[in-house]
Structure 1
Amino acid sequence: MFSLHKTRGGVHPPQCKDMRDFACTSITPPERVLIPLNMHIGAPASPVVSEGDHVYVGTLIGQVNGLGSPIHASVSGTVTKVATEQLPTGATAPVVEIVSDGKMESDPALKPPTYSNKEEFIACVRDSGMVGLGGASFPTWFKMRAPEGKSFEFLVVNAMECEPYITSDYRQMMEHSERVIDGVFRTIEALEIPAAVIGVEDNKPEAILELKRVVKEKGREDRIEVMEIPTKYPAGGEKVLIKATTGRDVPAGGLPIDVGCLVVNVTTISRVEQYFRYGMPLTCKTVTVTGDCIANPGNYRIPLGMSVRDVIEATGGMVKEPKKIIMGGPMMGRTITNIDCPILKANNAIVALHDAAVLPDETACIRCGRCVRACPLALEPFALDSASRSHDVVALDELAVMNCMECGSCAYVCPAHRRITASIREGKAVYRGEVARLTAPSEKKEA
């Protein structure tokens, strides 16, 4: 059904997949969780609980209208705070604090959902609170709605996990391969998609064999294909994966639906299937906790809203003082300075580093072109870096700054150790602000 296509750019950082053979284990629940209601792209959810309310695991605590995702309690216990406050990340958001009763009792009202058509299926996915668990946090149900006049030809399941250190998706494939394949088949059946491809990097041969075994065992070879893709970062980027599996190029500024594709992370599809089987919405996240500072690294199931500090303590603490703690992988993750920040739906790793944390000082760009060759989207990172630092909005527009996927390949290969990705990220913020400023008067005039 599918054939492998060549993609441009990319780099080969050390894989550091030391936790690949560590089975997922549940973590000791914390005494309290602080659950932000903005764990998705879109407007924050509105709280639907009050201080003093008793909640169970899976109880709805935040509801949304429009683009967004419902949010559910991750522990059973008592709501002790409903407020809007600044999080340790610097963002301001509505939050719900729950003090655990230690019982972790599931909400007795939960039950497996039913559906009879495409719209009802999408509504069920919405109720699950599911977002892109690979790190994007885009509401899954919204992705599944094809705009009028367009349709999905392929479901592309992203099982690449190309970021160094992270192994949570790999464990999902190894431990829940049947659920993954059932979730893929359920989705293409419900959304009337002709075929699906699961893209897996060739550094995960055991997962490839396991998924292929289940596909064959269930007799789904006519609709589902597992494709082995050469290991190269960022092969798991949405546009890159679509090119590799289908040969189609998503246009600049376009979306996967523009080339007939729906892209879903492998753990997302597995958790969607889990919801349809048992009725439990998204309340916890599998996170790879690793790095040379962690006493007991591994893959852990962690309640949403549990602080990074509590996670580290529950896994045995640290063996040395970290110089850097990253939420996510070293290529696209964010460095945190306050470990009281909560685990969110999009978090898939905590990497605490000492020996590998110090980066060389920046020097002047030498125009070597390595960043251009490494860019998977044919951009000019060195020029974007310069325009971002000078806040040159016209140049940022001409260089298509918003097309950057912030993969970090440019910074990785830069011999001058330029912080190109961080610079471009700032440039995007400047660009968005200027666009908002320029469009505001016309909007007011129309009103």
Structure 2
Amino acid sequence: MNLLEMVREAGVIGAGGAGFPTHAKLTSKSEYILLNGAECEPLLRVDQQLMELFPDEIIKGFEAAGRLVGARKALIGIKGKHKKVISILKERIEALQVGDFVEVKELPDIYPAGDEQVLVYELTGRVVPEAGIPIQVGCVVVNSETALNIYHGSMGKPVTEKYITIAGDIPRPLTVKVPIGTPIVDVLKLSSIENFDNYAVIDGGPMMGPVMSSTDGYITKKNKGFVILKKNHFLIRKKSMNIERARRINKSSCEQCRMCTDMCPRYLIGHNIQPHKMMRALNYKLEDIEGQKSAQLCCQCNLCELFSCPAGLYPKSANLYFKGKLAEKNIRYKSVKSEFTASKNREYRLVPSKRLMARLGLHDFDKPAPMTEVEIKPELVHIATRQHVGAPAVTVVSVGDHVELGQLIGRIPEDSLGATIHASISGTVVESGNDFIAIRRD
């Protein structure tokens, strides 16, 4: 098999976001391949530690992917503050003799440096078109953990484990490797908290991650971390606001100061996203469909709601409200521009991570979450058939079948976008439905 087939068979997907199948991304031809090592969400620690612990594997996987897409340059984007990791990467790039192709480029310590389109601009100076993707400007982007999984895939090892940071108002922040399908509550308890009655959990980073309705559920290939906070914490109360109540508050309080727009990361790279106009449309029941379409350019980074708005309102929710309305009518934004220029004021409106954490009330929890060897052996795993963009995997095992660690248990449907799934433990299949496959450990 060639590398593309190996990546496909290994079930590699984007490990840092929506979970787009990596083999589909690597079919493109591009001028640049970019490694997203920014990890700009506060408190999360996975990527920086993987680059420190497995630099050779990540560099080799990244280089192989870059050669596959025909890139002329492979750029590793990492925040300049991670000096130790940068030093390790540069030393290993030279030792592996790939310095003519792979290069480390430092990013500012801002949010959201890890937004795919912001990353493309920071590393190449190019602006991805509105409602577009990086390949439109000759770039393919992969995450650090994805590059590690590409390397493993090239060695015949499928994706069966996930690296997770557990952080927040907890006695023991840490980063661990766990089998896919592990009960989430088992992972949360590694924080040394046993009873979560007084806590809420954010699935992902504190900016973009949703507050979980319960601690039920199972680890997927897309999980990155969990932030555990007391239920009365500002951030939990803010993120728990439902869209209808947020809409009522917006209508009664917005002063049209337009700070939500002026600080918007996508607006600052030249896109026509203007959340203050969505707030205006809510207030006055404006029916300008063309104007509302710009809400579809929102990347939901949440900077407007959690940092920019001086009144603490909900501009992102206004964007989501109009996004939903337009989706109901099957109306899509179409850009009328072909070239985009970043705002001349952009450099003065970047949000430092330290200021963001202070605003979120997370300063006291900004602690190391060291990679920790923890023996976590779930008796039962539930492996979702859809933990990626595209069609769910088609089950290829039945109840009663014995499976080995790494065995294929779900294939990509014919002529569909999707990803394979594999057994994360050895054991017996005890359930096999449309949504998940449950395996009981031997």
Above 0.5 in TM-score? yes
* Paired amino acid for 1:339: T
List alignment gaps of at least 5 residues for structure 1.
Answer: 1-113, 116-120, 438-447
- Tell me the secondary structure at the aligned position of residue 326 of structure 1: strand
Shift of 1:396: 6.7
**Aligned match of 1:252:** 130
The answer to whether the 8 Å contact 2:292/2:322 transfers is no
Q: Does 1:142 align with 2:24?
A: yes
Structure 1 residue 388, shift from structure 2 partner: 6.6
281, 297, 320: which one aligns with 1:425: 320
Residue among 174, 183, 192 paired with 1:307: 183
Asked if structure 2 preserves the Cα contact closer than 8 Å seen for 1:152 and 1:262, the reply is yes
2:255 matched residue in structure 1: 366
Shift of 1:219: 1.7
Counterparts of 1:134 and 1:398 in 2: how far apart (Å)? 29
> CA offset at residue 387 of structure 1?
4.3
2:220 to 333, 340, 344: 344
Shift of 1:323: 4.2
Identity rate, percent: 30
Task: Tell me the distance in 1 between the aligned counterparts of 2:229 and 2:167.
Answer: 8
Matches within 5 A, 1:86-235: 114-115=1-2, 121-146=3-28, 151-235=29-113
Cα distance change of structure 1 residues 388 and 338 upon mapping to structure 2, 3 Å threshold: farther
2:410 equivalent in structure 1: none
**Pairing 1:275–2:169 present:** no
Give the secondary-structure state (helix, strand or coil) at the position aligned to 1:338: coil
Q: 1:435 is paired with a residue of what secondary structure?
A: coil
Q: What is the letter of the counterpart of residue 179 of structure 2?
A: P
1:160 Cα deviation after fit: 0.4
Alignment pair present for 1:380 and 2:257 = no
TM-score (norm 1): 0.65
Rounded to whole Å, the distance in 2 between the matches of 1:193 and 1:233 is 27
Task: Supply the AA of the counterpart residue of 1:403.
Answer: L
Q: Give the Å deviation of 1:425.
A: 2.9
CA distance in 2, matches of 1:368, 1:127: 51
Paired residue type of 1:367:
Q
Letter of the aligned partner of 2:51 in structure 1?
A: M
Note the alpha carbon deviations across 1:203-254, whole angstroms, 9 max, x for none: 2221111111111111211101100111110111111111111111111122
What is the distance in 1 between the residues matched to 2:51 and 2:287?
A: 43
**Is the Cα–Cα contact under 8 Å of residues 157 and 266 in structure 1 kept in the other structure?**
yes
SS in 1 for 2:110: coil
The amino acid that maps onto 2:97 is: G
TM-score by length of 2: 0.66
Do structure 1's residue 407 and structure 2's residue 301 form an aligned pair? yes
2-side partners of 1:267 and 1:246: how far apart?
A: 22
Partner residue, 2:393: none
Kindly report the root-mean-square deviation, in angstroms, between the aligned alpha carbons of the 2 structures.
Answer: 2.4
CA separation of 1:250/1:345 partners in 2, compared to 1, >3 Å: closer, same or farther? same
Q: CA deviation at 1:269?
A: 0.7
**Residues 224 and 374 (structure 1), Cα distance of their counterparts in 2 relative to 1, 3 Å cut:** same
Could you give the per-residue CA deviations for residues 284-319 of structure 1, whole angstroms, max 9, x where no partner exists?
211101111x34220011222222222223443247
Q: Any idea what SS the aligned residue of 1:122 has?
A: helix
Quickly say closer, same or farther: Cα 1:312–1:226, change in 2 above 3 A.
same
Task: State the aligned residue count.
Answer: 313
Q: How far off is 1:384 after superposition? A: 2.6
Moved more, 354-363 or 319-328: 354-363
Higher helix share: 2
Give, in angstroms, the shift of residue 415 of structure 1. Answer: 1.5
